[in-house]
A and B are shown apart, each in its own frame.
Chain A
Amino acid sequence: MKTYTETLYDAYGQEFRVDKLYFENKTEHQHLVIFENAKFGRVMALDGIIQTTQADEFIYHEMLSHVPLLAHGKVKHVLIVGGGDGGMLREVCKHKAVEHITQVEIDDQVIEMCKQYLPEHSAGAYDDPRVNIVIDDGAHFVNTTDLRFDVIISDSTDPIGPGGALFTSDFYADCKKCLNPGGILVTQNGVAYMQLDEVVTTNKRLQSHYKDHTFYSAAVPTYIGGIMTFAWGSDDEKARSLPLETIKHRYNAAKIKTRYYNPAIHLASFALPQYILEAIENQTWTD
Chain B
Amino acid sequence: MDRLSVKPRSSAKPFQELVEQHGSPLLILDCKQLVKQYHKLRQALPGVTLYYAIKSLPHPAAVHTLESLGAGFDIATSGEIELLWDQRARPRHTIHTHPIKRDNDIRDALRFGCTTFVVDNIYELEKFINYRHRVGLLIRVSFPNPATPIDLSRKFGCKPDEVEILLNKASALGLHVKGLSFHAGSQCPDASNHVNAIEQCQNIIESRFKSSGKLLSILDIGGGFPVEYVGKAATTETFCRPIREALARLPDHVQVIAEPGRFLSAPAMTSISTVMGKAHRGDSIWYYLDDGVYGSYSGQIFDHATYPLTIFSDYKQEEKAVIAGPTCDSIDVIAEDLSIPPMTIGDLVVGHQMGAYTSATATDFNLFKRAKIVVINQQPSDKNAANTVAFI
Report A's interface with B, CB cutoff 8 A.
2-5, 7-11, 13, 15, 18, 21, 24, 26, 30-31, 33, 35, 47-48, 160-161, 194-195, 197, 285-287
Contacts and interface: CB of A to CB of B under 8 A. Distances in A.
Contacts of B115: 7, 9-10
B281 to A, nearest CB: 51
B391 A3 contact: yes
A252 B382 CA distance: 56
Interface stretch (B106-114, B145-153, B348-356): B106-114
Contacts of A26: 85
Given A7-B115, A11-B136, A48-B112, A21 B387 contact: yes
B133 A9 contact: yes
Contacts of B248: none
B392 A5 contact: yes
Contacts of B391: 2-5, 18
Given A7-B115, A160-B131, A287 B174 contact: yes
B278 interface: no
B134 A8 contact: yes
6 contacts: A2-B391, A4-B392, A10-B135, A24-B389, A35-B389, A47-B110
Nearest to B111: A47
Given A11-B136, A287-B132, 13 more contacts: A4-B392, A5-B113, A7-B92, A7-B114, A8-B134, A9-B134, A10-B176, A13-B92, A18-B391, A31-B390, A48-B111, A161-B107, A195-B133
Contact of A3 (B130, B134, B392): B392
B91 interface: yes
B388 interface: yes
B178 interface: yes
Contacts of B132: 287
A18 B133 contact: no
Interface of B: 85, 90-92, 107, 110-116, 130-136, 174, 176, 178, 387-392
B242 to A, nearest CB: 32
A7 B113 contact: yes
A264 B36 CA distance: 65
Nearest to A285: B174
Nearest to A24: B389
Contacts of B135: 10
A26 B389 CA distance: 10
Contacts of A48: 91, 110-113
The 10 closest A-B pairs by CB, nearest first: A10-B136, A5-B392, A7-B113, A10-B115, A48-B113, A47-B111, A2-B391, A33-B389, A195-B133, A287-B174
Nearest to A5: B392
A7 B176 contact: no
A99 B326 CA distance: 77
Contacts of A30: 111
Contacts of A194: 133
A15 B389 CA distance: 13
A75 to B, nearest CB: 34
A160 to B, nearest CB: 6
Given A18-B391, A194-B133, A10 B174 contact: no
A5 B391 CA distance: 7
A282 to B, nearest CB: 15
B4 to A, nearest CB: 46
A205 to B, nearest CB: 16
A7 B91 contact: yes
B110 A10 contact: no
Contacts of A8: 133-134
Nearest to B133: A195
Contacts of B392: 3-5, 7, 15
Nearest to A26: B85
B384 to A, nearest CB: 8
Contacts of A33: 389
A18 B91 contact: no
Nearest to B385: A2
A21 B92 CA distance: 20
